Each structure stands twice: as C-alpha cells, then as structure tokens.
Amino acid sequence: MQFVDRAHAVPLIKSGDYVAALKRIVRREHIGLLIPLLDWELPLIAGAREDFASIGCRAVISSEAVVRTCRDKLATFRALRGAGIDTPDTWTLREVLSRKKHHFPYFLKPRFGSAAKGNYLVRDRDELHVLARRVSEPIVQEFVNGVEFTLDVYTGFDGRPRCVVPRKRLEVRTGEVSKGIIVKDAAIMEVGRRVADMLGEGRGVITVQCMLTSKRQIRVIEINPRFGGGAPLSIRAGADFPKWILLQHLGRRVVIRPHAFTHDLAMLRFDESVFVRNASRYVSDR
C-alpha cells in the first residue's frame, strides 16, 4: 500500500461484498482496467466481468468455465488428459484408499488449494492417512521427480497464445518463487502453447506449472489463470505483458516477437523492511 498512488481497503473476498466494493472503487476512481491476481477472487470477478464492462471497466480475466477448470485440480487433470497433454495421474482420496497396491511416494494437495498450502509428499500408507486429515478435499497425484518450471503464457484478449516464457524454479518459499532463471526451451514453450489452446478462453497471462523429468518428459501439474508471482522475471527478460495489455486496451497495435526474451536471466529476491509513520490508520482490529 505504500508504493501505489492510492490504496483502498476492501472486505474479505468471502464476505459477500467484495465485488460490490470493487465496483464502488472502479466508479470512484474511473478505473478502466482491472487485473485480478488472487486465486480466491478469480471466480467472483469472472462471474462479474460483464458487470464491470457495463461501468466502463475491462476485467482481464479468463471465462468462468476456464477459471472453474483451473481452480479445480481434478478438473484440470481431466481436461489435460482429454487434450492429450502429459500430466501426472490424479485421484480422489477415496480412489487411492481403495487401492490394494500403492506406488509411493504420492503428492497430496487440496483440490481447490492455493499458494502450496496443504501440499505434502506422502511416503507410505500411514502418512497418507495422517496427512489427508489436514487437507480440505484432498486429492492425490502421482509423484513426478524432476525440475519444476513455471510458464508465463500471454494470451491477450482473444485467448490466442502469443508468447510463452519458461522460468526454471530454483527456490520456492510459501508457494512463490524466490529464485528463478529464464530457460528458452522450445519443447517446454510448445507445451505452454498447447495448454492455452486447450483452454480456449484464457485471457491476459496464464501461468502453467510443469515438471521436466530426466527423460525430457514435460508433465503439466497445475494451471493458474492469472499472473504468477514470478512474472516480473519474464517481464524483465523482455516479455512486456503490462505494456501489451495496455496497448490492447487502448486499441493500439501490439507487436509481439514470441522469442524476443532473454535466455539465462535470473531473479533473486530478498526481504526489505518498510517503515511507516502514523501507521495506526493502516491497522485493522479484524
């Protein structure tokens, strides 16, 4: 809040008044472009996209159907399999518990999770029973050993993938990359394009997570229909997503060279202390 021109406190996303509060701010500040960044707000804003348009604000967000598919990791698995895109086997907890033979380790996660909360590596049956109690609506995935990549896929306003930037995850903290490096790999980029084509109605930037195995298999593990936390690395490398979005919004010509980003550029993040005078006005008792 200290780094923006104007900041607004809004109700909690699950309060029932979140979208209405955003609309009030849009009207008051004459906002013409809205870019949601939080997983939990995506279904609400996707459902209200036409409402925002009616008050002169373009919400850069995928369709409700795309958001539903991506937010539901079981639905994501089924969509990827249906499109012939490599993805780890995924089951409900009940399906796994009913199996007589297991191939541990597994990867346990919430069906509607976010920011890697509730994600666990499961090594045996006992851990499966114990850890599943900690997770809301758990699903179980085949464990994939390999190097994790995040792909920033620019789809603009028409859903067509125009640029795919792979970021190799070197270090992750609380689900967000803290160290990463750009890897211009044609095969990985092609997978990102195929995922965007599968979705069809993706908008803006789609974030695709995948694993690259030692045998060069590229296995998609998750799709998030929003900017990823590591997107500044792709932007700094030359894939200027904010500029492209603004130019499209203004109806101007956008020239996108899909391979014109810098290979081997790394991002290393660090914590910074911010000191605020008269801070009580920013503190809530909620």
- CATH classification at residue 189: 3.30.470.20
Q: Is the pLDDT of residue 285 over 70?
A: no
Looking at the fold, whether 153 and 136 belong to one and the same domain comes out as no
Average pLDDT over residues 141-151: 96
User: Are residues 185 and 166 in contact, defined by beta-carbon separation less than 8 angstroms?
Assistant: yes
Average pLDDT over residues 255-279: 91
- Strand 33-34 versus strand 58-59 pairing type: parallel
- Judged by DSSP in three states, 164 sits in strand
Residue 155 lies in a domain: yes
Which of 152-161, 166-175, 257-266 comes out lowest in average pLDDT?
Answer: 166-175
Query: At 28, which helix (H) or strand (E)?
Result: helix 18-29
Rounded to whole angstroms, how far apart are CA atoms 1 and 21? 17
pLDDT score at 69: 97
Count of the separate structural domains present in the chain: 3
Residue 226 lies in a domain: yes
% pLDDT > 70, the chain: 99
Residue 213 lies in a domain: yes
CATH number at residue 41: 3.40.50.20
pLDDT score at 100: 87
Looking at the fold, whether 35 and 103 belong to one and the same domain comes out as no
- Judged by DSSP in three states, 146 sits in coil
Q: How far is CA 195 from CA 7, 30, 192, 225, in A?
A: 35, 35, 5, 11
Looking at the fold, whether 134 and 149 belong to one and the same domain comes out as no
Q: Is the peptide bond before 232 cis (omega within 30 degrees of 0)?
A: no
User: Are residues 174 and 137 in contact, defined by beta-carbon separation less than 8 angstroms?
Assistant: no
Q: Per-residue confidence at 4, pLDDT binned at 50, 70, 90?
A: confident
Give the global pTM: 0.91
Rounded to whole angstroms, how far apart are CA atoms 205 and 214? 28
Residue 96 lies in a domain: yes
% pLDDT > 90, the chain: 85
Looking at the fold, whether 134 and 152 belong to one and the same domain comes out as no
Residue 71 lies in a domain: no
Looking at the fold, whether 157 and 135 belong to one and the same domain comes out as no
Its domain, for residue 121, covers 89-142
Residues with Cβ within 8 Å of 19's Cβ and at least 6 positions away in sequence, in order, are: 44, 45, 48, 51
Average pLDDT over residues 42-61: 97
Residue 8 lies in a domain: no
Looking at the fold, whether 257 and 203 belong to one and the same domain comes out as yes
- Higher confidence at residue 3 or residue 10? 10
Looking at the fold, whether 153 and 245 belong to one and the same domain comes out as yes
Rounded to whole angstroms, how far apart are CA atoms 70 and 89? 16
Q: Per-residue confidence at 117, pLDDT binned at 50, 70, 90?
A: confident
Q: Is 107 exposed, middle or buried (0-12, 13-18, 19+ CB in 10 A)?
A: middle
Rounded to whole angstroms, how far apart are CA atoms 37 and 285? 25
pLDDT score at 284: 64
Q: Is the pLDDT of residue 2 over 70?
A: yes
Q: What is the pLDDT of residues 177-228, one digit of tens each?
A: 899 999 999 999 999 999 999 999 999 999 999 999 999 999 999 999 999 9
Residue 138 lies in a domain: yes
Looking at the fold, whether 229 and 172 belong to one and the same domain comes out as yes
Tokens at 142, concatenated: 């085949």
Q: Per-residue confidence at 37, pLDDT binned at 50, 70, 90?
A: very high
Residue 7 lies in a domain: no
Which amino acid, residue 134?
R
Q: Is the pLDDT of residue 261 over 90?
A: yes
Which amino acid, residue 1?
M
Q: Per-residue confidence at 174, pLDDT binned at 50, 70, 90?
A: confident
Residues with Cβ within 8 Å of 204's Cβ and at least 6 positions away in sequence, in order, are: 35, 60, 61, 62, 154, 155, 156, 157, 226, 227, 241, 245
C-alpha dihedral (52, 55, 60, 65), degrees to nearest 10 = 30
Average pLDDT, the chain: 94
User: Are residues 152 and 235 in contact, defined by beta-carbon separation less than 8 angstroms?
Assistant: no
Average pLDDT over residues 251-265: 95
In angstroms, how far is the first alpha carbon of the chain from the final one?
A: 18
Which amino acid, residue 285?
D
Q: What is the pLDDT of residues 73-82, one digit of tens each?
A: 999 999 999 9
